[in-house]
């Protein structure tokens, strides 16, 4: 138990959460500590004291009994606007799914309006299931910026680079210019920041990859790329005797500013290269399972001190954005793949979805519940049937689901209260997306 501040100016809070259980790091694991949380000016002002300080006041008082306070989840890779294509093309291998279904659908139906509304739907789904920070990468990202501004989420937003005509960039020769313009006109925001997203080594030629990486370095933004997602990726790049990781390394692409997504088919040498270059990795286990791409060697990467975040990927290949379910899949998939139940324990996956995920995105003041950190946190209902009894924090990985999230706070702002989204009209969003889906289902791109 910690002492409360003396009465005076420090006794007023914007939000005060009384008598919850707080998830806190303890050695190599986590503990649930009874206590209360005070939020002031977007940050955690007090964490831990039981009850409440004498003479305190708060703009909003939340009764935390039965609730577990934990850091907001960090989804390190999603294509938000692809909510429109949820369930459009299931049970297909990656290249068939991409070339015969997704790329044609995107060419016909992706517009700025579509990205705006469908990204809002993704944001609503993520917020309601406890995700407070996301890295989103797609086309028409100006529209996504508007959507996330309205949602109240924290987001890193990457404009896509690809070497064929794309939504919003019909001339591939202008793909780098389009990203540079996106970064240069990006609005000043405490919650949003721009990034460069080079789709993959097989959809971007060497010159494009080098220019895209150079732009990210020049503008000091994160650089995302799909990497080593499938077994056939080496053949797709057309580069003999070099796998995708070695190929990027030969181009001078790899360094600590790179966030490589998927990284399923890695050799020991590949992992050594990523570790040596300081690259960060995002694993998307459910998307990889659904597309039968394979199993990322997450335990082996963590053993090399490679930072690994967790992502859902887009709705078209998952088909949901529930990071609680993703944590469960990630832990269990590693165990069955290695035939070792002790591999990738729940505590490691919790870090991947919180503090390590934040570090993966280069965000230094979220991911843990400590005084002075940004107030990005969620309250989980530990009294739900699937969380009863609640013996340890491991159950947040193996039992909790997004539906158990009661409260979401981002940067000190209450976004979800008792399961209700406050920042956007969910019914309006779903109505708009359903109208668009009618055209997709009928094949009418007008």
DSSP string, 221-260: --EEEEES-STTHHHHHT-TT--HHHHHHHTT--STTEEE
Which conformational region is residue 251 in: left (phi greater than 0), alpha (psi within -120 to 50 degrees), or beta?
Answer: alpha
**What is the C-alpha separation between 105 and 316, in angstroms, rounded?**
11
Kind and range of the H or E element at 421? strand 420-421
Q: Is the preceding peptide bond at 418 cis, omega within 30 degrees of 0?
A: no
In this prediction, residue 319 carries a pLDDT of: 95
Buried residues in 55-69 as b, exposed as e (16+ CB within 10 A) = ebebeeebebebbbb
**What is the C-alpha separation between 109 and 88, in angstroms, rounded?**
13
Name residue, tokens 């399923």.
264
Which conformational region is residue 396 in: left (phi greater than 0), alpha (psi within -120 to 50 degrees), or beta?
Answer: alpha
- Beta strand pairing status for 67-71 and 12-26? parallel
- Partners of 63 in the β-ladder: 18
Which pTM value belongs to this model?
Answer: 0.96
In this prediction, residue 132 carries a pLDDT of: 99
In this prediction, residue 445 carries a pLDDT of: 47
Q: What is the CA radius of gyration of the chain?
A: 22
Residues in Cβ contact with 237 at an 8 Å cutoff, skipping those fewer than 6 apart: 201, 202, 244, 247
Are 222 and 216 within 8 A, CB to CB? yes
Q: In a 3-state reduction of DSSP, which class is residue 414?
A: strand
Per-residue pLDDT tens, the chain, 446 aa: give them.
344 544 445 689 999 999 999 999 988 899 999 999 999 999 999 998 877 777 889 999 999 999 999 999 999 999 999 999 999 999 998 889 889 999 999 999 999 999 999 999 999 999 999 999 999 999 999 999 999 999 999 999 999 999 999 999 999 999 999 999 999 999 999 999 999 999 999 999 999 999 999 999 999 999 999 999 999 998 888 888 899 999 999 999 999 999 999 999 999 999 999 999 999 999 999 999 999 999 999 999 999 999 999 999 999 999 999 999 999 999 999 999 999 999 999 999 999 999 999 999 999 999 999 999 999 999 999 999 999 999 999 999 999 999 999 999 999 999 999 999 999 999 999 999 999 999 998 655 44
**What is the C-alpha separation between 297 and 299, in angstroms, rounded?**
6
188 CB burial (10 A radius; 0-12, 13-18, 19+): exposed
Q: In a 3-state reduction of DSSP, which class is residue 352?
A: helix
DSSP line for 209-223: HHHHHHHHHHHT--E
**What is the C-alpha separation between 331 and 337, in angstroms, rounded?**
10
Which one, of 398, 386, 271, 385, lies nearest residue 333 by Cα?
Answer: 398
Q: How far is CA 118 from CA 74, 88, 158, 443, in A?
A: 20, 14, 16, 18
Please give the distance of CA 270 from its chain centroid, rounded to a whole number: 24
Give the number of other CB atoms < 10 A from CB of residue 272.
Answer: 14
- Partners of 371 in the β-ladder: none
- Beta strand pairing status for 377-381 and 308-310? unpaired
Coarse DSSP helix, strand, coil percentages of the chain, rounded to the nearest 5 percent: 40, 25, 35
Are 237 and 244 within 8 A, CB to CB? yes
Residues in Cβ contact with 171 at an 8 Å cutoff, skipping those fewer than 6 apart: 165
Give the number of other CB atoms < 10 A from CB of residue 113.
Answer: 12
**What is the C-alpha separation between 107 and 113, in angstroms, rounded?**
14
Q: Is the preceding peptide bond at 40 cis, omega within 30 degrees of 0?
A: no
Residues in Cβ contact with 427 at an 8 Å cutoff, skipping those fewer than 6 apart: none
Give the number of other CB atoms < 10 A from CB of residue 156.
Answer: 24
Q: In a 3-state reduction of DSSP, which class is residue 326?
A: helix
In this prediction, residue 446 carries a pLDDT of: 43
């Amino acid at each position: 138990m910690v002492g409360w501040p003396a009465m005076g100016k420090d006794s007023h809070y914007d939000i005060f959460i009384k008598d919850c259980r707080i998830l806190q790091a303890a050695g190599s694991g986590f503990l649930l500590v009874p206590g209360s949380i005070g939020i002031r000016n977007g940050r955690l002002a007090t964490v831990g004291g039981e009850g409440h300080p004498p003479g305190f006041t708060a703009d909003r008082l939340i009764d935390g009994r039965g609730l577990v306070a934990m850091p907001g989840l960090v989804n390190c890779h999603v294509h938000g606007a692809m909510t429109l294509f949820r369930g459009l093309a299931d049970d297909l291998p990656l290249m068939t799914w991409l070339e015969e279904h997704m790329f044609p659908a995107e060419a016909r139906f992706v517009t700025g309006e579509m990205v705006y509304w469908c990204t809002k739907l993704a944001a609503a789904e993520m917020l309601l299931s406890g995700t407070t920070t996301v890295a989103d990468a797609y086309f028409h990202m100006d529209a996504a910026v508007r959507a996330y501004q309205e949602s109240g989420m924290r987001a890193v937003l990457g404009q896509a680079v690809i070497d064929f005509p794309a939504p919003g960039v019909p001339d591939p020769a202008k793909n780098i210019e389009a990203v540079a313009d996106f970064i240069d006109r990006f609005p000043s925001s405490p919650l949003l920041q721009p990034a460069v997203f080079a789709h993959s080594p097989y959809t971007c030629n060497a010159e494009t990859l080098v220019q895209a990486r150079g732009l990210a370095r020049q503008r000091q933004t994160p650089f995302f790329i799909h990497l080593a997602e499938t077994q056939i990726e080496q053949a797709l790049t057309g580069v003999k005797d070099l796998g995708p990781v070695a190929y990027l390394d030969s181009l001078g692409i790899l360094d600590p500013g790179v966030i490589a997504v998927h990284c399923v088919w890695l050799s020991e040498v590949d992992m050594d290269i990523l570790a040596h270059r300081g690259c960060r990795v995002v694993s998307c286990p459910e998307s990889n399972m659904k597309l039968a791409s394979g199993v990322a060697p997450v335990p082996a990467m963590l053993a090399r001190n490679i930072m690994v975040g967790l992502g859902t990927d887009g709705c078209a290949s998952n088909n949901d954005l529930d990071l609680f379910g993703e944590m469960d899949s990630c832990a269990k998939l590693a165990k069955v793949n290695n035939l070792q139940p002790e591999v990738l324990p729940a505590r490691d996956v919790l870090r991947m979805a919180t503090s390590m995920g934040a570090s993966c995105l280069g965000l230094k003041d979220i991911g843990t519940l400590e005084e002075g950190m940004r107030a990005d946190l969620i309250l989980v209902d530990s009294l739900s049937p699937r969380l009863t009894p609640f013996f340890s924090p491991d159950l947040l990985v193996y039992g909790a689901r997004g539906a158990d999230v009661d409260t979401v706070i981002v940067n000190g702002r209450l976004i979800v209260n008792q399961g209700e989204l406050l920042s956007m009209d969910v019914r309006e969003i779903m109505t708009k997306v359903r109208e668009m889906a009618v055209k997709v289902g009928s094949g009418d791109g007008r």
